[in-house]
Structures are given as structure tokens and as C-alpha cells.
Amino acid sequence: MNGPVSEQAITRIEILDATFRPADHAEQLSQNDSDNGALVTFTGMVRDLVENPVNAMYLEHYPGMTEQALETIIATARQRWVLGHVTVIHRVGMLYPGEPIVFVGVTSRHRREAFEACQFIMDFLKMDAPFWKKEYTPEGERWVEAKSSDSQAAQRW
């Protein structure tokens, strides 16, 4: 980590094979952190839409590179904003509608840094982190296609 960080600023990255509870990670971020007045979290979940029914989703990843890519993204965020704790949790394996896929939590002294860093981390995770989603639908299996709106989102930074 570069830049002015409190000694207690912790980065946690977990790639998990089983479902997790975003609320537990949000709670953990807010404990023992009286320096920071702001906590911003984002949770991405598996959707099952009438116009795009999904029975299950498989998340593939590149072990080793995923952790490194997330570390690099978080380190870049820490250079840009003074942050407290940062946690990124991402599922791999089989997921079902309603389950959380990704959780990003950021603390900072005041809210601006936490809001911006949380969005930055998600925008770059969408573009650079080696995960691939495969949907299992009533009509068969389908790999999710990358969206140009995601690479455009990262460019605004």
C-alpha cells in the first residue's frame, strides 16, 4: 500500500467457493475503526429475470491472477484516495438466483473517498479481473458476453 494510510488500514481479498453473507463483511469493516466515519458497500447478486430466466450461474476464474488483479486494483485506489479498510469478496463455482456474487466494502474518514473508491474498484474489477460467467438457462448453457458499457465505465476514471 502506498500513500498516507493509517497503520490499521487492512485490505481483505477472498475468492470463495461457497455462499457468503455480505452483512457479516460490512459489520466486520465497521468494527475497530473509529478513525473512519464512512463505510460504503456494494453487493452484486445473481438475477433471474422473466425476460432472461437463469436457473444457475457458474463462475470460472484464473487462480493466482484473480487475487493479483484485485490487489492491483485496490492498490491503485489507495494511491488515489486516502482509505481505511477495503474488502473485496468474489464467488467462484456454482451460484443460484439471489445469491451474492461480489461484495466491495470501503471505509474512509469522510464519505466522498469511500463512494468514489467503491465505484472505481467495481468498474476496474468488471474490466480487469479474470472471472467468466456461464448461465444455465431453461434453453441451455450460455457464456455471458462482456458489455461495452463496462469498459466505458472504467474509462471515465
Partner 1 sequence: MIKLLFFAQLREKLGCTSLDHPLPTVATVGGLRAALIARGEPWSEVFADKNVLAAVNQRMAKDNAAISEGDEVAFFPPVTGG
Which of 5, 115, 128, 154 binds partner 1 (CB under 8 A)? It is 128
Q: How far is CA 138 from CA 48, 86, 97, in A?
A: 11, 38, 14
Q: Count the neighbouring beta carbons within 10 Å of the beta carbon of residue 21.
A: 11
CA–CA dist 3, 67 (Å, integer): 21
Counting contacts by CB under 8 A, is residue 157 touching partner 1?
no
Count of residues engaged in binding partner 1, rule: CB under 8 A: 26
Q: Does 16 bind partner 1 (CB under 8 A)?
A: no
The yes or no reply on residue 136 touching partner 1 (CB under 8 A) is no
Taken as a whole, the chain contains a residue count of: 157
82 close to 37: Cβ distance less than 8 angstroms: no
Q: Which of 107, 99, 102, 96 is nearest to 122 (CA)?
A: 102
User: CB 125 → partner 1: shortest distance, Å?
Assistant: 5
Residue 25 binding partner 1, by CB under 8 A: no
125 binds partner 1 (CB under 8 A): yes
Task: Check binding of 99 to partner 1 (CB under 8 A).
Answer: no
Which residues in this chain contact partner 1 in the complex, by CB under 8 A? 44, 59-62, 64-65, 68, 90, 101-102, 122, 125-134, 143-146
